Amino acid sequence: MSIKVGAASQELSAAYAAVTREPAGIVWNKVCVSLKRELGDAAFGSWIAPAVLRETQAGDVVLVTPTGIARDWIRRSAWRRIGELWAAGDAVGRRLDLKSRLEFEASADAASATTGAVYVEAKPQPIEIVLPVSSDIPAAAPTPTGKTSPVQGLQERFTFDSFVPGPANEFAHAVARRVASWADGHFNPVLFHGPYGFGKTHLLNALAWEAMRAAPNKRVVYLTAERFLSTFVRAVMDRQTTAFKDELRGADLLIIDDVHFIAGKQSSQEELFHTLTALVEDGRRVVFSADRPPSAMTEMDARLRSHLSAGLVCGMEPADRSLRLGILERKIEALGRAQGFTGTVRPEVLQFLADRFTDSVRELEGALNTLTARAGERLSRLSLDEVQAILRPHLRGGEKRITIDDIQKATSEHYGMKQADLLSERRNRAIARPRQAAMWLAKQLTTRSLPDIGRRFGGRDHTTVLHAVRRIEALRQDDAVLSQDLETITRKLRG
């Protein structure tokens, strides 16, 4: 009896395994989804995405990397985790091996010569990690309107409604709106450029969402330069370059974020050049973003650089104080709605954040997120001292130390005067206003007390410094020239 039960059990196990046996490609796709989330886009796109899965007719599975360097990185940094995810996802317990392309081809040749075994590519299902974001890919993602759209990767929060325009970005905003409306007479291609944290990705996402809303029958393709590179490499390895070209060149609107990453990668530059040329000649629209204008992309192929310059090159400037305040107010309202509390903070806290985080909008939003995470619904009641205490570790991290002497030198250079004039007793307006500005900067950018600042400005008392700080604070609200002077000096001091 026991023998019969054991045999039946084995038969049931075998039947279960046959039913639950998923193709290796599907299991690998599930592993990749988890890996991308855990490793991040950069590491995943550089090392994991270019690898392909192969399996023998006998059922052995091998992950094949394009180079030995990629194989070594995966073995060192991700192989244990890949093994865990593979074991959890593969119901039949197939062994997964790792080899470089050269190793794999050598072992395949040897196996074929001795046993006749043949390796074939494991057939994965198309998933987000290897495809550009296209408005006709059959997968659904939520749109800003709450409906579903066949687009992956676009961030729902980055829309024109959540974009705060101001003097620093209003031209770029107007250009993006025009492109998204499919209006005639557009420049082609359009390149938005500016350092990180200036709102380029937000603008490109907003453009894509609006373009799809305005013309649902048009085909929009959005992808980062990193995804362009990894997808192109994958297509070359899998001999699928024709499909890759058709995917991009069939777009009515192609959007590529951070195109400067492609500089120096010859074959990818060549493909992008021919894609750009084909789309422009066919009257399709192309939009790029980069961290600098084409003229500064010295590593980029000259022909591609020339084509990027041929349309409209649109620079985005650092957000000025009024724009930073507007961004903060909009962000606080959104956080309040999301977390169920009143979206307000004290005016002095708003002003501190806007004055302290001037280099990038991401840095500004990061500081606000830190406060929200720490304070929650108490955010509206936080005092300036509490805010400074919460952000103190963040403020000090890797920051250049600014001295009062640095401030005096930078202020005097900006206004074309001698540093000694700031310390003198002269009170004419041409000297007094820059002196007050330097005192205000000293209060904002250093931890020195008012009496200490006064001593370093020719032995003045703290009431003189306090008057100067209050005077500049009042004037800069309405004096655009003074506000810009303070922004310029601050940026110079922070490098």
Q: Count of alpha carbons within 13 Å of 387, Cβ hemisphere only? A: 23
- Beta-carbon count within 10 A of 265 CB: 19
- Beta-carbon count within 10 A of 452 CB: 15
393 contact partners, CB below 8 Å, separation of at least 6: none
Ranges of H-type helices in 319-460: 321-339, 347-356, 361-375, 384-396, 404-415, 419-423, 429-445, 450-456
Q: How far is CA 270 from the centre of its chain?
A: 24
What gap in Å lies between CA 476 and CA 353, rounded to an integer? Answer: 16
Cis geometry, peptide bond prior to residue 451 (ω within 30 degrees of 0): no
What gap in Å lies between CA 103 and CA 121, rounded to an integer? Answer: 16
What gap in Å lies between CA 205 and CA 157, rounded to an integer? Answer: 9
What gap in Å lies between CA 295 and CA 268, rounded to an integer? Answer: 19
What gap in Å lies between CA 225 and CA 233, rounded to an integer? Answer: 12
SS3 label, residue 55: strand
Which phi and psi angles does 221 have, rounded to 5°?
-120, 125
What gap in Å lies between CA 38 and CA 471, rounded to an integer? Answer: 51
What gap in Å lies between CA 94 and CA 96, rounded to an integer? Answer: 6
Pairing between β-strand 220-224 and β-strand 190-193 as defined by DSSP bridges: unpaired
Residue 171 structure tokens? 């031209």
SS3 content of the chain, % helix, strand, coil (to 5): 60, 10, 30
Task: Find residue 289's DSSP bridge partners.
Answer: 192
Question: Which residues are part of a known binding site?
Answer: 197, 199-201
What gap in Å lies between CA 163 and CA 73, rounded to an integer? Answer: 39
Question: Which residues are part of a known binding site for ATP?
Answer: 197, 199-201
What gap in Å lies between CA 91 and CA 209, rounded to an integer? Answer: 40
Pairing between β-strand 220-224 and β-strand 133-134 as defined by DSSP bridges: antiparallel
What gap in Å lies between CA 277 and CA 286, rounded to an integer? Answer: 10
- Beta-carbon count within 10 A of 415 CB: 18
